[in-house]
Chains A and B, each alone.
Chain A
Amino acid sequence: MPARHEPVDVVVVGSGMGGAAFCARLSEQAKHLRIVCLERGGWIDTAAMPPWRRDWQRATIGAWASSPNLRLKAPTPSPSADYPIDDSGSPFKPLMWSGVGGSTINWAAHFPRLHPSDFRTRSLDGVGDDWPFAYADLEPYYDLNDDAMGVSGLAGDPAYPPKPPRAMPPLALGRLGMTAARGFDALGWHWWPVDAAINAVPHQGRAGCNYCGPCQQGCVNRAKASVDVTYWPRAIANGVELRPRCIVQQVVIEGGHATGVVYRDAEGREVTQPAAAVVVAGNGIGTARLLLASGLASPALGRNLMFHPAAYVRGMFKEELDGPVGPIGCALYSHEFYETDARRGFKRGVHLQVTRENIPLMQALRLEPAWGRDACQLLREEFRHSIAILVLAEDLPEAHNRVTLADRTEADGLPGVKIDYAVSDHSRRSLDFGLDRAEEVLRAAGAHRVVRLPLAPLTGWHLLSTARMGSDPATSVTDARGRCHAVPNLLVADGSLFPTVGAVNPGSTIGALALKIADDLAKDIA
């Protein structure tokens, strides 16, 4: 007989961007509610983060790898509470973190918003689906989310509707950024310093970035915003109870109504937590896995998985650049080609993102050849002399790209999970277009040699759209307020909700959307 907690008003599954923003906002808007959040992993200790150690580079392919599958194979245990994902059917490998703060622990904190057109792809371009609300409806929540996370950047970008002044100036571009900007300037193309959820200067009690480099190994001085240091202190101060190391096994659904969850606590005991409402925020794979395992009846559940297909071009320069310094994902971007132009042969657009240089070990491991005399020469040519431009394309919803359950039980007690994803011809055309443009920029900036990676497998951070919003229960899982069509007191509050995904990093939109879902629920309850 499982232990049974006292009923609460809302139980939230997952403490990442979606779950944290949701809990903080709901606890402010409906102070009378008793809210519990269950997180499968634990709090992260900054003292244990690799950037303090001389062996920090190897952590990138070990216990602090971005891929849970790699972490599970690491010689030392990872602080992330991972589950294996069968990704054999996908060219992109899923990346995430399972612990308090979710993937904001090891994200790059590049923090762009979607464009207004991203919410209207069907109406404007005849592809994808319209969101059930517009950019203008989400805009106030983008602003709230920016305030909570702390954004370095620069207002005035003509690629976006006006945004409030950023809380901090842009992060330093360095020689790498200024060199790339030279290429965009030569071509007369748009570029702009990124919005980053990283402190350029001390802000909100957290330090300014000291450009140490490996953001994806956690931020030891907390300059990078992760929700364990932004939203969670607020939520906990408001009375939200966060229970780490609690792995939810099932959302209990009886007669079209969620009655709570069953979870395995840190001691391995099975515990029932009754609740008037259940909110799932476990990312596009974790949320789908749990809801499928719970028997939620919804034909769209798990389908339409989207990643943002990614590729990049690396340019080699004679001049010395910065090396592996500064926030890896946060230099500058171009939206010159973000909006649809029918002459390109595909709908929607691409995001070009100038990233910082990788650490020597990572550079060495992806060289072709990776050993021998030629490898030495290639490494020296590249190290401190290269710029990579990442091309992100907008993948469109396709039902065959999906999350399914495997016929086995994993160590965490849940069914195994598998993803299947294929790069469509449409995505391929948009990626190739973006690669051509990125190569033009690098050559215009002075690159003497460029190398293309037509698909970048280890870029699967953006796990989206497997429980999408919409009005038709045949093609969507939830309504516009995140409530499951089949079980209205079961909600989703993460990137799984996105009907379409634009071509930019989703963290900012996930946070804004979770705030809106919280407000909607608060109004429903009031």
Chain B
Amino acid sequence: MTPEFLAAVIDTLLPGDDVLPSGTRAGLDPVVYASSHHAIFDVIAARAGGLERFIQADESARAAALTTVERALPEAFRALLVTVLSDYYEATAVLAALGWRTDPPQPAGHAMSEWNDAAGERLERIRRRVRMWRAV
């Protein structure tokens, strides 16, 4: 299992686009997934006809190989995907690309406008309705 092959798998899962970075560009280290998910990487390599062949394939061919493996081994594939996505969506580069802050939710929280009269005025239409609940 070479780092290049692992990186090719990760970047096929997370290719990025004009806004989001790919998995490896976001800072994910593909090698860390090798030991805990080696079985699924082995299957991917086998289905693709070898490590080098997968690496050299274009994106659509790599995606087709992964789709085949996903259908054959959905649980193992999902386990890898969950691990990779968990790392990706914690990455500073990804959160920044989404326009979201990188700090955790606390202690700062988020600013939101408090309930105000304007919102209350929108309810006047509803306040004027006749009773909606059934008396019993």
State the A residues within 8 Å of B (CB).
50-58, 61, 115-117, 119-120, 123-124, 134-135, 154, 156-161, 169-174, 178, 181, 185, 188, 190-193, 200, 209-214, 220-221, 322-323, 325-326, 335-336, 338-340, 359-361, 364-365, 370-373, 376-377, 379-380, 383-384
Contacts and interface: CB of A to CB of B under 8 A. Distances in A.
Looking at B66, B130, B134, the one whose CB has the most chain A CB atoms below 10 A away is B134
Given A376-B17, A380-B19, A54 B90 contact: yes
Contact of B86 (A51, A61, A135, A172): A61
Nearest to B85: A364
A213 B113 CA distance: 15
B110 interface: yes
B105 A56 contact: yes
Interface residues of B, number: 52
Contacts of A365: 82, 85
B134 A373 contact: no
A200 B113 CA distance: 11
B132 interface: yes
Nearest to B133: A115
B7 interface: no
A214 B105 contact: yes
14 contacts: A51-B105, A54-B103, A56-B105, A115-B133, A119-B136, A156-B127, A169-B115, A170-B119, A178-B119, A211-B111, A212-B106, A339-B132, A371-B81, A380-B20
A158 B132 contact: yes
A318 to B, nearest CB: 15
A135 B134 CA distance: 11
Nearest to B22: A376
Contacts of A221: 106-107
Contacts of B14: 371, 376
Contacts of B110: 210-213, 322, 325-326
List of 3 A-B pairs having minimum Cβ-Cβ separation, nearest first: A210-B109, A212-B105, A172-B112
A54 B20 CA distance: 20
A154 B112 contact: no
If over half of B's interface residues share one DSSP class (helix, strand or loop), that class is named, otherwise mixed; here it is loop
Contacts, number: 165
Interface string B68-106: 000000000000011001101110001100111011111
B133 A116 contact: yes
A376 B106 CA distance: 27
A487 to B, nearest CB: 32
Interface string B37-74: 00000000000000000000001000100100000000
Nearest to B128: A158
Given A158-B131, A210-B108, A326-B112, 10 more contacts: A52-B104, A54-B104, A58-B86, A115-B134, A158-B132, A172-B112, A172-B114, A172-B115, A188-B125, A377-B17
A198 to B, nearest CB: 13
B15 A372 contact: yes
Contacts of B104: 50-54, 56
A325 B112 contact: yes
Looking at B14, B123, B131, the one whose CB has the most chain A CB atoms below 10 A away is B123
A55 B90 contact: yes
B136 A117 contact: yes
A160 B115 contact: no
A480 B99 CA distance: 54
B81 A190 contact: no
Interface in B5-36: 12-17, 19-20
Given A185-B125, A213-B105, A373 B17 contact: yes
Nearest to A169: B115
A344 to B, nearest CB: 15
Given A115-B134, A212-B106, A339-B132, A57 B17 contact: no
Given A154-B120, A371-B66, A384-B99, A190 B112 contact: no
Contacts of B122: 181, 185
A181 to B, nearest CB: 6
A159 B132 contact: yes
Contacts of B113: 172, 174
Contacts of B82: 61, 365
Contacts of B120: 154
Nearest to A362: B89
A371 B78 CA distance: 10
Nearest to A213: B105
B8 to A, nearest CB: 13
A373 B18 CA distance: 11
Contacts of B129: 158, 190
Given A52-B106, A360-B95, A364-B85, A174 B127 contact: no
B76 to A, nearest CB: 14
A116 B129 CA distance: 18
A70 to B, nearest CB: 11
Looking at A123, A158, A181, A340, the one whose CB has the most chain B CB atoms below 10 A away is A158
A344 B81 CA distance: 42
Contacts of A161: 133
A158 B114 contact: no
Given A124-B134, A361-B89, A364-B89, A373 B15 contact: yes
Contacts of A173: 115, 119
A143 B6 CA distance: 59
Contacts of A371: 12-14, 66, 81, 85
B5 to A, nearest CB: 17
A156 B122 CA distance: 13
Contact of A158 (B86, B108, B119, B126): B126
